[in-house]
């Protein structure tokens, strides 16, 4: 028996609570991972609510996976169609769910106990554990969480929502067309993207780290058999870290686009190209404004709405929430190609390094592993 994390947003947690509580669902993109992990009857889901960062329940898996499009977690166009039948062992109201930042949890879990919650650069360095679901979790941690949740189902202690959590529970939606609704983020004045203040020494260090990430992405793309494009201004620094095979790094782009489109594409931090088409685009945002990179991606999709390309915002874990806040702004939700929050995923620096160390990487022929196991969409 294995434990897997099962991610819910506050909205999908409420939808599950109001359902028969017999089915848990995931995106169809997780099918390969589920098959590889042999997830099935007897395994358990530790249920975690994003945004408010609380453990809410335990579900025991009672069936193999199946595909079903009956709306459960959304009124229409439910994206969680890969499903399991489950038996709830514990399910708590959100105000009774256990916050991960409580000392009796934080100081016990293997991936949080050594982190300083007061350090902005460190406090989010565990969130790779909730990038996507289902995802296998350490058994010892899960057994501890299961014990706590079982005890809480008897004690039912209140954990009142903080002012910050109350804001995160409020959902803003706009209607697209006659049916589809999309969740958007409208930051308050005091929530606008903060300028990160760093010393000149830290700025040099961060620029070096950004170049390392670009180099790693280029190297991984080369392993997948892609041609690589990198902006001219970044090349000298990246080529000190990456030694491409002849013909891998392109001097010119093979696209028949007009001048304005080409100017946008040429400034994207890393581009993977197969044949004569771009297949993945990466914007690396360390301490620079996330908004500028998002605008570049949005411009690309707006000018070429029929372009089939996977786009990723790459940033440290400490900036993950800011990435999602910015890509879910209303202006990015009414694009012809679809809401940016559904098209652009977040990829952490740690995930890039983890992928580059994947022992079987050279034998993996499909770069879809990035979507399946390493990147994260808003409210995965």
Q: What is the mean pLDDT of residues 160-177?
A: 73
The rounded distance, in Å, linking the Cα atoms of 124 and 377 is 17
Q: What is the mean pLDDT of residues 315-326?
A: 85
The rounded distance, in Å, linking the Cα atoms of 380 and 378 is 6
Q: What would the pLDDT profile of 261-277 be if each residue is shown by its tens digit?
A: 898 899 999 999 998 88
The rounded distance, in Å, linking the Cα atoms of 44 and 89 is 9
The rounded distance, in Å, linking the Cα atoms of 101 and 112 is 9
Evaluate whether residue 41 is within a structural domain: yes
Tokens of 311: 């786009």
The rounded distance, in Å, linking the Cα atoms of 98 and 147 is 12
Evaluate whether residue 264 is within a structural domain: yes
Percent of the chain scored above 90 by pLDDT?
Answer: 52
CA distances from 276 to 244, 249, 251, 267, 304 (A): 19, 14, 14, 18, 15
Pair 109, 223 in one domain: no
Among the candidates 111, 134, 155, a domain finishes at: 155
* Mean of pLDDT over the chain: 87
H/E segment holding residue 24 = strand 23-26
Q: Domain span at residue 222?
A: 189-374
The residue ranking higher by pLDDT, 53 or 335, is 53
Q: Do the strands 54-61 and 82-91 form a parallel or antiparallel pair, or are they unpaired?
A: antiparallel
Name the domain count of the chain. 2
In this predicted structure, what is the pLDDT of residue 188? 52
- Token pair 């099918």 is found at 31
Evaluate whether residue 175 is within a structural domain: no
Pair 118, 198 in one domain: no
Q: What would the pLDDT profile of 212-243 be if each residue is shown by its tens digit?
A: 999 999 999 999 999 999 999 999 999 999 99
- Band of the pLDDT at 194, cuts 50, 70, 90? very low
The rounded distance, in Å, linking the Cα atoms of 181 and 47 is 25
Pair 240, 96 in one domain: no
Evaluate whether residue 322 is within a structural domain: yes
Evaluate whether residue 184 is within a structural domain: no
């Amino acid at each position: 028996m294995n434990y897997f994390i099962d991610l819910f947003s506050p909205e999908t947690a409420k939808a599950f609570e109001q359902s028969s509580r017999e089915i848990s669902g995931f995106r169809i993109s997780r099918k390969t991972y589920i098959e590889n992990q042999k997830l099935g009857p007897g395994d358990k889901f530790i249920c975690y609510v994003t945004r408010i960062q609380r453990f809410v329940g335990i579900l025991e898996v009672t069936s193999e996976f199946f595909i079903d499009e009956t709306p459960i977690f959304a009124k229409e166009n439910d994206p969680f169609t890969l499903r399991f039948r489950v038996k709830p062992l514990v399910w708590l109201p959100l105000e009774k769910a256990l916050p991960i930042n409580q000392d009796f949890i934080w100081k016990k879990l293997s991936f949080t106990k050594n982190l300083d919650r007061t350090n902005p650069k460190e406090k989010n360095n565990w969130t790779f554990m909730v990038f996507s679901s289902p995802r296998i979790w350490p058994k010892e941690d899960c057994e501890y969480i299961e014990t706590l949740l079982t005890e809480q189902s008897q004690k039912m202690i209140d954990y009142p929502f903080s002012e910050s959590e109350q804001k995160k529970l409020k959902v803003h939606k706009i209607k697209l067309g006659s049916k589809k609704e999309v969740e958007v983020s409208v930051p308050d004045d005091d929530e606008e993207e903060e300028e990160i203040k760093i010393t000149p020494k830290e700025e040099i260090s961060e620029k070096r780290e950004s170049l390392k990430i670009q180099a790693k992405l280029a190297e991984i793309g080369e392993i997948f058999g892609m041609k690589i494009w990198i902006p001219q201004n970044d090349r000298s620094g990246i080529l000190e870290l990456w030694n491409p095979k002849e013909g891998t790094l392109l001097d010119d782009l093979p696209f028949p686009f007009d001048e304005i489109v080409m100017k946008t594409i040429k400034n994207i931090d890393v581009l993977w190209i197969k044949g004569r088409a771009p297949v993945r685009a990466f914007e690396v945002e360390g301490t620079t404004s996330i908004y500028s990179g998002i605008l570049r991606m949005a411009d690309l999709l707006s000018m070429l709405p029929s372009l089939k390309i996977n786009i990723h915002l790459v940033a440290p874990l400490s900036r993950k929430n800011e990435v999602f806040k910015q890509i879910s702004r209303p202006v990015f939700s009414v694009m012809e190609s679809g809401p940016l929050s559904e098209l652009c995923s977040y990829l952490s620096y740690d995930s890039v390094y983890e992928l580059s160390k994947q022992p079987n990487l050279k034998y993996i022929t499909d770069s879809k592993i990035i979507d399946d196991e390493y990147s994260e969409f808003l409210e995965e």
